[in-house]
Every structure is written in structure tokens, then in C-alpha cells.
Amino acid sequence: MSVNIKEANLQAITQTIAYMEKKDDYDEYILEKLKEERNKLLKELNVSL
């Protein structure tokens, strides 16, 4: 997977997480899985948390 696709996925996941947290009515399991995927992409792109 190219860097650009990973960056696009990272952006989409981050926006989804922000939306879900703002909404205050979300599935905790899905939110946790999205955060795990975001952390995985950050690690693959060598971006520190």
C-alpha cells in the first residue's frame, strides 16, 4: 500500500474518531478498533504519538 493511501486512510479514521467522540452516542468497541487501526497506521508511517 502506498504512503498516500495510508495517509488518506489515517485522515478518514481520525475524522471518524473525532465525529464519534463529539456525537457522544457511539459504540465503544468500534471506537476502540478505530483507535487501534489509527495507531497501527501511525506506526507504519513512522509518526510518533
Asked if residue 23 is part of any domain, the answer here is: yes
Provide CB contacts within 8 A for 30, sequence distance 6+: 20
- Other CB atoms within 10 Å distance of the CB of residue 13: 20
pLDDT at res. 27: 92
Domain range enclosing 36: 3-44
pLDDT band, very low/low/confident/very high, at 48 (cuts 50, 70, 90) = low
Would you say residue 10 has pLDDT above 60? yes
Asked if residue 13 is part of any domain, the answer here is: yes
Asked if residue 49 is part of any domain, the answer here is: no
Provide CB contacts within 8 A for 41, sequence distance 6+: 6, 9, 10, 13
The answer to whether 40 and 9 are in contact (CB under 8 A) is no
The whole-number average pLDDT for the span 5-10 is 94
Asked if residue 29 is part of any domain, the answer here is: yes
pLDDT band, very low/low/confident/very high, at 5 (cuts 50, 70, 90) = very high
The whole-number average pLDDT for the span 23-37 is 94
Total domain count, the chain:
1
The answer to whether 38 and 10 are in contact (CB under 8 A) is yes
